[in-house]
Amino acid sequence: MKDTAGPVMLIVEDNAADVFLFQEALEASGIRASIYSVSDGDIAMKFLRHSPPYPDSPRPDIVVLDLNLPIMNGREVMSEMAADPNLRSIPVAILTTSTSEAFICNNYPGSCRYFTKTDNFDLLQGIIRQIARQAEKK
């Protein structure tokens, strides 16, 4: 069941400033969403699988994923999600600094979009609107 506050978004990002900027741009866009943030891929998988310390974590409507993460990188997170029948239907929005890995979406069985990070607030708001639409389509 959808939260009345809009889509549930799990942001997997190790840079706190990037998470803050994402949240600010989301708010400025007027998009209501429930945001959860984790800082590495291993923690993301615990959140997604409701493993300790996240036994009551909500199922996200979308995972916003950086590829360059500590412990378990974004590619590994996508691979595990794709292999798990309970997770592969969750849409993924890759938001990363790399411009050369858009092909990674080709191997994901669910909805996947690739975006390059930007410091331009207006461009980021546009990306966030696309991510929110992707979450709503699931």
Every domain of the chain and the residues it spans: 8-137
Q: What percent of the chain has pLDDT over 90?
A: 80
Where residue 64 falls among pLDDT bands split at 50, 70, 90? very high
Residue among 106, 108, 93 nearest 60 (CA): 93
Architecture (CATH level 2) of domain 8-137: 3-Layer(aba) Sandwich (3.40)
Query: pTM, whole model, 2 decimals?
Result: 0.92
Q: Is 15 exposed, middle or buried (0-12, 13-18, 19+ CB in 10 A)?
A: middle
Give the pLDDT confidence score for residue 2 in this predicted structure.
40
What integer is the mean pLDDT of 61-75?
94
Residue 32 CA to residue 70 CA, distance in Å, equals 29
Give the pLDDT confidence score for residue 101 in this predicted structure.
77
CB 122 within 8 A of CB 88: no
pLDDT single digits (tens) 18-51: 999 999 999 999 999 999 999 999 999 999 999 9
HSE-up of residue 135 (Cα within 13 Å, Cβ side):
27
What tokens were used for 6? Answer: 């809009």
What integer is the mean pLDDT of 8-23?
95
Where residue 138 falls among pLDDT bands split at 50, 70, 90? low
